[in-house]
Structure 1
Amino acid sequence: MVSRVIPVDPFDLVIFGGTGDLARRKILPGLYRRYQAGQMPEEARIIAAARSDHDDAEFRDIARAAIEEFIPEGKRDAASLDEFIERLSYVAIDATGDDGWAPLSEKMREGMIRAFYFSVAPSLFGPIAERLHQHGIAGPDSRIVVEKPFGRDLASARKLNQTLAQHFDETQIYRIDHYLGKETVQNLMAVRFGNVLFEPLWNAQYVDHIQITVAETVGVDGRGAYYDKSGAMRDMVQNHLMQLLCLIAMEPPSRFDPDAVRDEKLKVIRALEPVEPYQIVRGQYEAGGGQPSYRDHAENPRSLTESFVAMKINVSNWRWAGTPFYLRTGKRLKARTSEIAVVFKDAPHSIFGAEAGRHRNILTIRLQPNEGMMLGVTIKEPGPGGMRLVDVPLDMTFADALGPEAEDVPDAYERLIMDVIRGNQTLFMRGDEVEAAWAWTDPIIQAWEERDDAPKPYDPGTSGPEDAQMLMHREGRRWREIRD
């Protein structure tokens, strides 16, 4: 199989916060890989802007060091790295003042796509947007990329949207959620809407329930102060897991078009029922394995912030009425994994009798690690002795099915940044979508804050609090095992 790499049009990309952690870990390495793949035209230029006082040569050294740190030696070569580095320049800039904006304006070229990546704190979005227009740097065809958090509640999300809307049209704003750039997430749409096999079964008549799990083995060390003001609900459920839920549950859009796709996602969010207290479990990891507890990491001995959330969600529409969605995410769990499991109902009648046991088809969409899909199918166990049934997997792991090319699948940030240059907003969140997600999330958070609910403690290296297991056990269901 030969992958097709289609070059984008020439562009000037300005990275505000260009010396920050995200730029070093993801943005600059991702852009280098796109250059290596031949997707970045010769005329493309990347300009880093930050408060630090560097010249071009100093920033190029920073960028080179970042690429050498985050891209393995076997995946880079000296010639292409030298060529890529030559396309970088730097401007020292004051995001809230006047210094640096004139030099940045002078660097921008006519006739090029102009994109601006706001890899900075949300408090700087407004000042930067205002100065881009004051200095004539951004025009009606320019694009801006903003990172989460998109507010911390509905009121702040609305204010943020209003601030950006003062200077940019909605068609110019790209709210980035890297989960939507993952190859498997996009393949989810291909599997659903490109195969007659699945879509007729994708409803409450055939699906018993759906599980969405995003588990991490790391704790919040190093970002405890930030996380303690956020928690798993704000940090993961309101955005990442919500987006996965929307893609699983949405109706087929009329076409693969940004607004058509996002219209259907918005309908899902608006169809979510309120979550009752007994339908949600919050947890907080204890000390263990030589590692401190969450409260130690957060430096808050009385913290009531959750590092784990499990919840049951109902979607009130014709397609999904009666089919629950179970969401689960947490820190310091037994393995790092992200997956969606579509658990189909039992056959309406078993001709093999009770001794054959219970067997179900399960479609597993694995986001990380080892991206791919697996469909569980029931067959006869080989050998004599009667009709004994066994479940076997039809494995569609990308690395096995697609060979070496699967190893070079673009990282989520690579794909999404190139979509910005193309002007394709399909995999980015729209403003009303963000606000609808917060409108559903806020009452849940407010309810447990009003009750002073304490999260349930759990041991590191487990699947979370025991209460989370009971969330499903009491309905005759079981969580899938968390494993890498």
Structure 2
Amino acid sequence: MSDTLLSPPELERSDALVLFGITGDLARKMLLPALYRLTESGRLTVPVIGVAATDWDDDALRRHAREAVVAAGTDIDEAAFDRFAASLSLVAGDFTDDATFSRVRDAVAGFDFVTHYLAIPPSLFTTVAASLAAAGLNRHSRLVVEKPFGDDLASARALQDELAAHFDDDHLMRVDHFLGNRAVESLMVSRFANTLLAPIWHRSYVDNVQISLAEDFDVADRGSFYDQVGCLRDVVQNHMLQVLAFLAMDPPSATNARAQGLEKWRVLHATRTMDPAETVRGQYDGYRDVEGVDPGSTTETYFATRMFIDNWRWSGVPFYLRSGKALAVTATEVVVELRKPPLELFGGASTKTPPNLIRFRVDGDTGIRADLMVSKPEKNTGPMTVPIGVDFARVLGRQELPYENILYGAVVGDPECFAFFPTVLECWRIVEPVLDPAEPPLRYAPGSWGPQAADRLPGLREWHELSRCLFDD
């Protein structure tokens, strides 16, 4: 039946994309290169109408788009770019001016259904949504908003209520670009499509789980933005908890986004709130000297914590999360440590057999790797660790950019790459006790692995080493 709880609504396909903030930083770095890729592959065939407070004309926008695609390191196919450029047009005007929305209405006249994508500061979400409604542009359309969706639990609920006054939930999509990352989605595929893994994904076999989102670069020219957000709100509350949900959820009972969202909600609902006593915040030396950063800033650029999920599958298994700027390497990786055998048969008094590890690299050089034990050729020398696995780029070829999948989903009405609102609320609930603490963050040196206190989180034996590449050839 089509009206069951697990059956998603049939969402409309758009025949135009209106991109608010098309001249902004996100559009330049991510959206315009992704839109070009979609055009090149033939997946994007609708016009793209940009809206921005600028004095540019259509030709200036097309030149800017070309510069953005080149800066992304993309080899341009001239015929494909010509098609992309021809699809671009610009409505110039202030987002607080009613006349801007009158011009948008004229630009979309004749289209049956439109997607409005807000790549703008969150403070303008409700302003633009209300103006779209006032101009009658909330009919036969949907609204897509970028993260962050609120800055705490109360503001997320308030934002939902304000947007819902103009767009119902079937016509409101919330972006988390990790959900557009096929390597993140592969966590679920690897677990549920392989009976090799499914039986051991349980507290009886898993000792602990470590999720790391490390970046070897600093905040660069994003100081004013980052200082208002910090590591916890920027990547932990959204990206890392979405990864945790994929990793720990039970299998959905239907192959659609709503069923998947319900399972994510269940596992996040069973997750304890973060404990300040089991949390470490850090700030790299030199952060306060960055332009736009408060000289007395207590914003964290590093965050680490221990978490628990109180359900039948995961009770008692610690999940360790860490993320930071200016760390030793750039790597987003999940390390699942399996329990060791009950007897030490192959090690010695001074050498212990290391545990099996299953690694999922979900950004950069994506892939899956298992560290297994084999015997060395020399007698009485103990076992050695041998990595086996799959490098996605070598096996599958070019991986789609996350924003290719997000923009395509926004246009065709596929909710799979967008955040389910109940899970957004659970994520804010989980982090709420550690938001904006009074204590200043600990200092750490750029190029290190963060504050040494993070190595002493309760129950943590060690953080498993992350290398620059999943497979060191």
TM, length-normalised to structure 2: 0.92
Query: What is the Cα deviation at residue 183 of structure 1?
Result: 1.9
The counterpart of 2:389, out of the listed 384, 388, 395, is 395
Distance 1:380 1:123, change over 3 A: same
User: CA 1:459–1:389 in structure 2 vs 1: closer, same or farther (change >3 Å)?
Assistant: same
SS in 1 for 2:16: strand
Q: Following superposition of structure 1 onto structure 2, how do residues 158-237 of structure 1 map, counting pairs within 5 Å?
A: 158-237=157-236
Structure 1 gaps, min length 5: 1-7, 287-292
Paired with 1:392 and 1:283, the residues of 2 have a C-alpha distance of: 34
Cα distance, 1:363–1:113 mapped onto 2, change above 3 Å = farther
Contact 2:227 2:293 in 1 (8 A): no
CA distance, structure 1, for counterparts of residue 353 and residue 460 of structure 2: 13
C-alpha separation in 2, matches of 1:114 and 1:411: 23
Aligned partner of 1:53: which letter? D
Partner residue in 2 for 1:17: 21
Instruction: Determine if the alignment matches structure 1 residue 437 to structure 2 residue 427.
Output: yes
Match of 1:469 in 2: 455
1:311 aligns with 2:309: no
Q: Deviations over 1:444-478 (max 9, x none)?
A: 225x22xxx1211111101111111111xx63621
Q: From the superposition, tell whether residues 29 and 295 of structure 1 become closer, same or farther in structure 2 (CA, over 3 Å).
A: same
Contact 2:347 2:353 in 1 (8 A): no
Instruction: Name the CA distance, whole Å, in 1 between partners of 2:190 and 2:135.
Output: 46
Q: Distance in 1 between matches of 2:224 and 2:101?
A: 32
Q: CA deviation at 1:10?
A: 6.2
User: Are 1:97 and 2:97 counterparts?
Assistant: yes
Distance 1:62 1:352, change over 3 A: closer
**1:244-263 counterparts in 2 under 5 A?**
244-263=243-262
> Unmatched 5+ residue regions in structure 2?
1-11, 469-473
- How many residues are matched? 455
Residue matched to 1:385? 379
Contact 2:306–2:320 (CA under 8 A) maintained in structure 1: yes
Residue in 2 that maps onto 1:36: 40
Counterpart position of 1:132:
132
Q: 1:217 to 1:135 in 2, by over 3 A?
A: same
CA contact (8 A) 1:51 1:92 kept: yes
d(CA) in 1 for partners of 2:86, 2:61? 11
For residues 271-286 of structure 1, what are the structure 2 equivalents within 5 Å? 271-286=270-285
Q: Secondary structure at the match of 1:391?
A: strand
> How far apart are residue 384 of structure 1 and its match?
3.9
Mapped partners of 1:267, 1:89: distance in 2: 43
- After superposition, what is the alpha-carbon deviation per residue over 1:216-265, rounded to whole angstroms, capped at 9, x for unaligned? 11222322222222221111211111111111111111122111111111
- Aligned counterparts of 1:200 and 1:110: Cα–Cα separation in 2: 54
More divergent stretch after superposition (348-357 vs 434-443): 348-357
Aligned to 2:401: 411
1:55 and 1:88 map into 2 onto residues whose CA distance is 11
- State whether residues 309 and 315 of structure 2, in contact with CA within 8 Å, keep that contact through their aligned partners in structure 1: yes
Q: Give the whole-Å Cα distance in 1 for the aligned partners of 2:412 and 2:419.
A: 16
The letter for the 1-side match of 2:434 is I
In the other structure, the counterpart of 1:335 is: 329
The RMSD of aligned alpha carbons is: 1.9
Give the whole-Å Cα distance in 2 for the aligned partners of 1:357 and 1:320. Answer: 26
Aligned partners of 2:143 and 2:172 also within 8 Å: yes
What residue is the counterpart of 2:264 in the other structure?
Answer: 265
SS of the equivalent of 1:11 reads coil
Aligned 8 A contact 2:206 2:336 in 1: yes
Aligned to 1:80: 80
The letter for the 2-side match of 1:86 is: A
* Post-superposition offset of 1:128: 1.5
Cα–Cα, structure 1 residues 400 and 66, in superposed 2: closer, same or farther, change >3 Å? closer
Q: Which amino acid aligns with 1:14?
A: V
AA aligned opposite 2:289: D
Amino acid at match of 1:18: I
Note if contact 1:14-1:48 (Cα within 8 Å) is conserved in structure 2.
Answer: yes
Identity among equivalent positions (%) equals 37
8 A Cα contact 1:213 1:329, kept in partner: yes
Residue in structure 2 matching 1:325, options 319, 323, 339: 319
Report the counterpart of residue 288 of structure 2 in structure 1.
295
- Corresponding residue for 1:62? 64
Question: In the alignment, is the contact (CA less than 8 A) between 2:274 and 2:432 conserved in 1?
Answer: no
Q: Is the 8 A contact 1:185 1:367 kept in 2?
A: yes
| 2: CA distance, partners of 1:84 / 1:100 | 24
Aligned partners of 2:13, 2:459: CA distance in 1, in Å? Answer: 54
Name the residue aligned to 1:289. none
**Of residues 367, 373, 385 in structure 1, which corresponds to 2:368?**
373
Q: Does 1:359 align with 2:354?
A: yes
Within a 5 Å distance, the mapping from 1:114-129 to structure 2 comes to 114-129=114-129
- Cα distance in 1 for partners of 2:72, 2:269 equals 40
